[in-house]
């Protein structure tokens, strides 16, 4: 089996890591084991590693797997390996795999009693450490539900008065005020997940919630705001400041002490927990928990399973946790999809107990059901978008994508003025004879558009430089406004329509127009946009931060609230040019005009979630570069990550009933 896996590695079907983990398991097996059993153990080790690299926390052992090991069914040149692999395990049926390896040293079906590298649970296979993380997340949620005892009736009147203050009658909206429901629910529960699409008011809701919590506690609570990345943390900082300013302007009689008790600066999760490179244990852990009363985590959809487990383990039992996110966005880069798993519990109505509480404190009547999971009472989705009106093409398009309405999503481009499709099929005559020429022609369309749209900020920069080579903060702000007016996003890193080549071609074309001046791509040229690729807390730059080189040997970075900082170009950590960024990197950002570029050929990375994430980065205008075939295939391809969290939660809650 190892020889076969080595060939698959050479064909780039599996990774070096997949192969060497299988080799490790092979080296630990007793010699007396039957050959077929040894081969099965080696195969499952490689499959588990391969599955984890695809973002799954486990590998479902179900019918159909044997006809598509390592996705070989989609690789014509290597499909014959499927039969070879089956021969090496003597065509043993999947339902017999676990019993066949019941006594194998590398496998366990009782991980709480026996530790082994690989774990069988719920007819699925895990790495032990990943099973452990999933188990820890599930147990945190179980304990949070158990702690969510009813708020003392004596507090109802006080909560009702606070909610009336922060949600005055003059601001009541038509239908259910889900922001009010979310605040009331989070006041009661030790854990609350608030989800919603762009513009639904997640940050405003949290601002009201934090004001309400501090009002109840006489400003005594210690609160922190965090996000997964530096860029998302900066965005949360800007949003929470904006929300507090708006609420203060609404004459809510918010005292200076109350405002001062709300944190207005967010940090990264890694910094909060004290996670350091090459150190297994963070600063804060079960034996040294975070000294917090309330923790707000934004962009929770970006958090992978291992990081979420570390976070939950670092919380004190009485710390209130508020997660914010959009479950329709891209899953984390690494394995795990907690928001997706939890959203499945939101299908039923709230429990009678919670609906009675909401009626008492918020005067909101909702349908109740005693059929749902107890987790349902900890989840709230905001439905009304304040960013996209009913006649907004961006909003309608996002909704069609979420619903998987392929034709509706494609036809939307002809019905709205704020969304545009640059159809790659307009150069389809080149596609049949020469796919490479076709890709180049499509890339040329993107480059031409980018050069036109990025001209404004470069012309402005040149004009200011002619007045004085030293820019003040106001002038820098004017340049950033023009630069941030548009951003190009792409699905891929490599290829004609990937980040690397598009950035290179756009810079070269701008140089040919006389708007940029450089000899080599890595030169620091006037107007060069960059994106930071690694965190450097000493300088205060984080992965995803965007900067502009504006002369004098300095790069300027936005700090939010109209403020900027400069860093010497010689001190800037690892970066890349940022005329174009990946959709993944754009999470947590928004741009007035977003241009989404899709590849010309099918690619496994294309999914409904990727399209939705790219589309919803646009605030006012969206342009998509794609063919009908690629667009439609992506919209009907939702990501289906394999995870046992949902099943584990069901089992835990059934046991506790």
- Pair (229, 366) in one structural domain: yes
The model's pLDDT over 523-553, given as tens digits with 9 standing for 90+, comes to 999 999 999 988 787 888 878 889 999 999 9
- CB neighbours of 164 closer than 8 A, spacing ≥ 6? none
What does the alpha-carbon distance between residue 317 and residue 389 come to, in Å, rounded to a whole number?
41
Please classify residue 277 by burial: count the beta carbons closer than 10 Å to its beta carbon, then call 0-12 exposed, 13-18 middle and 19+ buried: exposed
398 and 381 housed in the same domain: no
Residue 80 lies in a domain: yes
- 454 and 592 inside one domain: yes
CATH of the domain at 32: 1.10.10.1020
Residue 325: pLDDT band with limits 50, 70, 90: very high
Residue finishing a domain among 336, 353, 387: 387
Rounded to an integer, the average pLDDT of 222-231 is: 91
Q: What is the arithmetic mean of pLDDT over 455-470?
A: 89
Same domain for 328 and 211, yes or no, is yes
Angle between helices 305-313 and 128-147 (to 10 degrees): 50
More confident residue, 388 or 318: 318
Is 395 annotated in a binding site? The answer is: no
Give the Cα separation of 239 and 308 in Å (integer).
Answer: 23
For residue 93, being part of any structural domain is answered with: yes
pLDDT in tens, 564-580: 899 999 999 999 999 99
Task: Give exposure, 211-248, as e/b (b: 16+ Cβ within 10 Å).
Answer: bbbbbeeeeebebbbbbbbbbbbbbbbbbbbebbeebe
Residue 435 has pLDDT above 70, yes or no: yes
Residue 379 sits in the same domain as residue 408 = no
Q: What is the pLDDT of residue 252?
A: 66
SS (H, E, C) 313-380: HCCCCCCEEEEEECCCCCCCCCCCCHHHHHHHHHCCCECHHHHHHHHHHHCCCCCECCCCCHHHHHEE
What token pair was written down for 545?
């931060």
- Confidence at residue 623, expressed as pLDDT on a 0 to 100 scale: 97
- H or E stretch at 127: strand 124-127
CA 598 vs. chain centroid, Å, equals 19
Q: Consult the annotation and say whether 198 binds a ligand.
A: yes
Question: DSSP characters for 394-417?
Answer: HHHHHHHHHTT-HHHHHHGGGT-S
CA distances from 458 to 56, 488, 518 (A): 44, 16, 14
Give the domain extent around 294: 152-387
pLDDT at site 544: 83
| Residue that finishes a domain, picked among 387, 418, 448 | 387
* Overall average pLDDT of the 137-145 stretch: 93
Binned at pLDDT 50, 70 and 90, residue 290 comes out as very high
Residue 243 phi/psi, 5-degree rounding, is -65, -45
pLDDT at res. 149: 61
Residue 449 has pLDDT above 60, yes or no: yes
Minimum mean pLDDT among 108-122, 386-400, 498-512, 597-611: which range?
386-400
Across the range 301-310, mean pLDDT stands at 93
The answer on pLDDT for 446 being more than 90 is: yes
Residue closest to 127 by CA, chosen among 100, 98, 106: 106
Tell me, what's the pLDDT at 354? Answer: 92
Q: Among 36-45, 150-159, 232-241, which range has the highest average pLDDT?
A: 36-45
Which of the residue ranges 25-29, 179-183, 604-608 has the most confident prediction, judged by mean pLDDT?
179-183
pLDDT at 536: 81
Query: In the structure, what pLDDT confidence band is assigned to residue 4 with cuts at 50, 70 and 90?
Result: very high
pLDDT score, position 428: 61
How confident is the model at residue 170, as a pLDDT? Answer: 57
- Any known ligand binding at 577? no
Q: How far is CA 31 from CA 19, 26, 27, 309, 587, in A?
A: 20, 10, 10, 38, 50
Asked if residue 222 and residue 120 are part of one domain, the reply reads: no
More confident residue, 383 or 567: 567
Averaged pLDDT of the chain: 90
pLDDT band at 51 (very low <50, low <70, confident <90, very high): very high
Is pLDDT larger for residue 528 or for residue 167?
A: 528
Structure tokens that stand for 453 in this block = 């749209």
From the CB of residue 83, how many other CB atoms can be counted at a distance below 10 Å?
10
Do 285 and 397 have their domain in common? no
Strand order in the sheet with 580-582: 419-423, 618-626, 591-597, 486-490, 580-582
- Pick from 538, 539, 558: which is nearest to 547 by CA? 558
200 is in an annotated binding site: yes
Half-sphere exposure of 165 (CA within 13 A, CB side): 17
| 655 inside domain | no
CATH number of the structural domain spanning residue 401: 3.40.50.300
Is residue 534 a part of any domain in this protein? yes
Helix, strand, coil percentages (3-state) for the chain, rounded to 5, are 50, 15, 35
Residues 202 and 325 in one domain: yes
- Kindly report which listed range (15-24, 62-71, 276-285, 418-427) carries the lowest average pLDDT score: 276-285
Residues 522 and 506 in one domain: yes
Residue 61 lies in a domain: yes
By the 10 Å C-beta count (0-12 exposed, 13-18 middle, 19+ buried), 513 is classed as exposed
Q: Is the pLDDT of residue 601 over 90?
A: no
The predicted structure's pLDDT at residue 507: 96
Q: Does residue 472 share a domain with residue 383?
A: no
Regarding whether 486 and 581 lie in a shared domain, the answer is: yes
Mean pLDDT to the nearest integer, 434-463: 91
pLDDT band at 247 (very low <50, low <70, confident <90, very high): confident
* 483 dihedral zone (left: phi>0; alpha: psi -120 to 50; beta): alpha
The answer to whether residues 635 and 401 touch, using CB atoms and an 8 Å cutoff, is yes
pLDDT greater than 80 at residue 152: no
Q: Which two tokens stand for residue 499?
A: 């980040």
Give the pLDDT of residue 480.
Answer: 93
237 annotated ligand-binding residue:
no
Stretch among 105-119, 170-184, 367-381, 604-618 having the lowest mean pLDDT: 170-184
CA angle 166, 173, 243 (to 5 degrees): 45
Give the pLDDT score at 131: 96
Stretch 289-306: mean pLDDT: 95
Q: Say whether 199 counts as a known binding-site residue.
A: yes
Binned at pLDDT 50, 70 and 90, residue 602 comes out as confident
Does the pTM surpass 0.85? The reply is yes
Helix (H) or strand (E) segment spanning residue 578 = none
Higher pLDDT pick, 504 / 521: 504
- For residue 429, what pLDDT is reported? 61
Which of 111-115, 305-309, 344-348 is least confident?
A: 344-348
Length of the chain: 657
Q: Out of 169-173, 277-281, 590-594, pick the least confident.
A: 169-173
Residue 140 belongs to some domain of the structure: no
Question: If we measure between CA atoms, which residue out of 69, 66, 128, 73 comes closest to residue 97?
Answer: 66
Which residue, among 267, 265, 261, has the nearest Cα to 241 in the 3D structure?
265
For residue 201, pLDDT beyond 70 = yes
Is residue 104 a contact partner of residue 32, using CB atoms and an 8 Å limit?
no
Structure token digits, residue 287: 């034996």
pLDDT band, very low/low/confident/very high, at 233 (cuts 50, 70, 90)? confident
Same domain, 176 and 316: yes
Give the SS3 label for residue 303: coil
Say which residue, 519 or 430, is predicted with more confidence.
519
Is position 45 within any domain? yes
Number of domains in the chain: 3
Question: 230 vs 512, which has greater pLDDT?
Answer: 512
pLDDT in the model for residue 150: 56
Q: Which residues pair with 268 in a beta bridge?
A: 227
Residue 643 located in a structural domain = no
């Amino acid at each position: 089996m190892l020889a076969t896996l080595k060939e698959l590695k050479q064909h780039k079907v599996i990774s070096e890591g997949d192969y060497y983990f299988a080799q490790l398991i092979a080296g630990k097996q007793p010699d007396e084991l039957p050959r077929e059993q040894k081969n099965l153990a080696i195969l499952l080790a490689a499959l588990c590693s391969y599955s984890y690299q695809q973002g799954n926390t486990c590998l479902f052992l179900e019918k159909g797997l044997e006809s598509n090991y390592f996705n070989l069914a989609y690789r014509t040149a290597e499909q014959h390996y499927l039969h070879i692999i089956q021969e090496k395990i003597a065509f043993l049926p999947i339902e017999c795999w676990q019993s066949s390896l019941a006594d194998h040293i590398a496998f366990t079906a009782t991980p709480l009693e026996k530790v082994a590298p690989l774990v069988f649970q719920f007819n699925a296979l895990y790495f032990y450490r990943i099973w452990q993380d999933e188990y820890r997340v599930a147990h945190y949620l179980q304990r949070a539900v158990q702690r969510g005892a009813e708020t003392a009736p004596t507090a109802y009147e006080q909560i009702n008065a606070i909610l009336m203050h922060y949600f005055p009658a003059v601001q009541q909206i038509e239908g259910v005020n889900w922001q009010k429901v979310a605040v009331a629910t989070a006041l009661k529960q030790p854990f609350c997940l608030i989800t919603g699409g762009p513009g639904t008011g997640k940050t405003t809701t949290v601002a009201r919630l934090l004001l309400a919590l501090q009002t109840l506690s006489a400003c005594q609570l210690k609160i922190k705001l965090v996000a997964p990345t530096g860029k998302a943390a900066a965005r949360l900082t800007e949003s929470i400041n904006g929300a507090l300013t708006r609420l203060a302007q609404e004459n809510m009689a918010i005292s200076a002490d109350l405002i001062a008790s709300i944190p207005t600066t967010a940090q990264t999760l890694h910094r909060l927990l004290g996670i350091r490179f090459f150190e297994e244990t963070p600063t804060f852990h079960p034996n040294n928990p975070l000294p917090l009363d309330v923790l707000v985590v934004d962009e929770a959809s970006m958090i992978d399973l291992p990081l979420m487990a570390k976070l939950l383990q670092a919380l004190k039992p009485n710390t209130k946790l508020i997660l914010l996110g959009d479950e329709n966005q891209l899953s984390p880069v690494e394995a795990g999809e907690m928001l997706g798993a939890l959203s499945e519990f939101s299908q039923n109505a709230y429990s009678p107990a919670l609906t009675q509480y909401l009626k008492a404190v918020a005067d909101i009547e909702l349908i109740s059901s005693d059929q749902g999971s107890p987790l349902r009472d900890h989840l709230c989705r905001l439905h009304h978008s304040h960013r996209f009106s009913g006649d907004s093409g961006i909003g309608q398009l996002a909704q069609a994508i979420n619903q998987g309405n392929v034709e509706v999503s494609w036809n939307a481009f002809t019905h709205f003025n704020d969304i545009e499709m640059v159809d790659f099929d307009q150069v389809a005559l080149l596609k049949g004879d020469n796919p490479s020429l076709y890709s180049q022609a499509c890339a040329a369309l993107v480059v031409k558009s980018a050069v036109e749209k990025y001209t404004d900020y470069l012309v402005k920069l040149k004009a200011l430089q002619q007045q004085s080579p030293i820019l003040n903060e106001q002038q820098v702000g004017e340049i950033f406004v023009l630069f941030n007016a548009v951003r190009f996003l792409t699905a891929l890193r490599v290829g004609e329509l990937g980040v690397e080549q598009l950035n290179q071609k756009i810079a070269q074309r701008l140089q040919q127009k006389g708007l940029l001046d450089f000899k080599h791509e890595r030169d620091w040229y006037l107007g060069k946009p960059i994106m930071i690729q690694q965190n450097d807390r000493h300088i205060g730059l984080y992965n995803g931060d965007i900067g502009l080189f504006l002369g004098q040997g300095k790069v300027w970075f936005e700090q939010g609230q109209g403020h900027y900082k400069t860093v010497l170009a010689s001190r800037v950590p690892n970066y890349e040019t940022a005329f174009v960024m990946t959709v993944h990197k754009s999470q947590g950002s928004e741009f007035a005009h977003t241009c989404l570029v899709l590849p010309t050929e099918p690619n496994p990375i294309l999914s409904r979630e990727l399209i939705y994430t790219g589309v919803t980065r646009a605030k006012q205008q969206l342009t998509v570069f794609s063919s009908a075939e690629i667009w439609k295939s992506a919209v009907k391809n939702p990501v289906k990550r394999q995870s046992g969290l949902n099943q584990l939660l069901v089992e835990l809650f059934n046991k506790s009933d």
